[in-house]
Structure 1
């Protein structure tokens, strides 16, 4: 850990907050610190100068400085540790996984301007368990392909994918290379691309098996995304459990008020 003083070269030139601007001082402080992170000057585990020293060097109150630091903390870029050995510690920048529009992991990483990687742990044809069969609307004794992969970004494991596809719809899938986008294969080779999905997001903890594959400690925080995907004609084609490292990812999802809800609100207002 580097403990930085107010004149450390990693901080560069400090913002001139005395200049008149429509942008509040705390926003300019945050932008300055983010710029140092993006430039590779402030590194993960760097400890910023003491708040009173940094505030004095910037010519602002501690409250103003804390607004900037609090915003960075909420974005996962800063850890504020308490106690005598505490302080404000720069964290590894999290990767935003945008789930809007049912993207696969490859597309999520493209949106984040990060190159995706995949390591296939196992592909096998198995009898569908009760929950998977129900989700995929399969009859008794029908098989599915179970695909387990570790997805990576910035050369680090980021997510563990456990995917189930109906075997009768995807004949020969287990003989194909699966280090790229499975959605692309489903669309290109089988004309069964996912079009809509029901997804559930919930916190989870890493088991020993998960921890080994994701390079985290057992019990580490994960974000579990459970998903059942359907084609445009309503055929269930995928049931999946995606476990994301909570220390490396932020899940985002853009939503809007549906046409039905808008119509109901309009009717209520008129009535």
Structure 2
């Protein structure tokens, strides 16, 4: 969001900097409507043409988006989260690296008998139990993903007694000496159901990135089966491929993109 001030006057540049400063310091939030051009101009003490120049510069910089029409207006654009599939890293660390604040809302936690899909993913026997955690992950206070994690209960006793609002990977490392070694992920684009849309703050039918993950620890033992739904309008998928194979012990992902089967 560092668009230059070329072709705008000094008054428009002052307004541009003022609004950009409010966005960058969280005084104006992603998705927030700034108001009508006329009202903004009056509030900031400039002409409508000056206001139009400043908003145009902010739009070109990607800081705001302008929606025409009766129900439109100028809105603070949501920053997209880059999800690097080259490394196995938790959402909090991912967001911190991009200058965003991470948060969580815990929906449900339970110790439950593993279903057939979970048993197959984690190679568990019939009657095995798993720690089951469902959370909403937040980026700068706004929902970015709906996360459903299942972990073998016998391997992680008393996990539900620990604070689950942050990184599960950090908890597993600190309390159970478990760190990710390799993850296999399958990614699909799906349409949000009404419940999913309500939870994630988007529209029913909006595109979501459905990511199913099976993770092994540093010793090659399976320990995580999870399913995440990321808002596609707020997520960028990236992959960095090294010229040489990763050194032994480095965490890595194996990613598969596949169409949804109806």
Q: Deviations over 1:54-75 (max 9, x none)?
A: 9xx9xxxxxxx9xxx8995xxx
Q: Secondary structure at the match of 1:216?
A: coil
- Structure 2 distance, partners of 1:38, 1:130, is 51
Match of residue 235 from structure 2? 250
Match of residue 12 from structure 1? 13
Q: Report how far residue 41 of structure 1 moved.
A: 7.3
TM-score normalized with structure 1 length: 0.65
Q: Secondary structure at the match of 1:195?
A: strand
Where do 5+ consecutive residues of structure 1 fail to align? 1-5, 15-32, 58-64, 261-271
Contact 1:125 1:146 in 2 (8 A): yes
Q: In 2 relative to 1, CA 41–135 (structure 1 residues): closer, same or farther, beyond 3 Å?
A: closer
Instruction: Please list, as runs of the form range in 1=range in 2, the aligned pairs for 1:109-258 lying within 5 A after superposition.
Output: 109-247=95-233, 249-258=234-243
1:94 and 2:50 correspond: no
Match of residue 39 from structure 1? 21
Greater fraction strand: 2
| Length, aligned pairs only | 217
Q: Report how far residue 89 of structure 1 moved.
A: 6.3
Q: In 2 relative to 1, CA 41–131 (structure 1 residues): closer, same or farther, beyond 3 Å?
A: closer
Contact 2:65 2:77 in 1 (8 A): no
- Which of the pair has the greater relative contact order for Cα pairs under 8 Å at 6+ separation? 2
Q: In 2 relative to 1, CA 177–257 (structure 1 residues): closer, same or farther, beyond 3 Å?
A: closer
CA RMSD of aligned residues (A): 3.6
Q: Once structures 1 and 2 are overlaid, which stretch shifts more, 163-172 or 215-224? A: 215-224
Q: In 2 relative to 1, CA 41–198 (structure 1 residues): closer, same or farther, beyond 3 Å?
A: closer
- Structure 1 distance, partners of 2:168, 2:95, is 14
TM-score normalized with structure 2 length: 0.67
Q: Secondary structure at the match of 2:100?
A: coil
Q: In 2 relative to 1, CA 198–191 (structure 1 residues): closer, same or farther, beyond 3 Å?
A: same
Where do 5+ consecutive residues of structure 2 fail to align? 1-7, 38-48, 246-262
Contact 1:95 1:112 in 2 (8 A): no
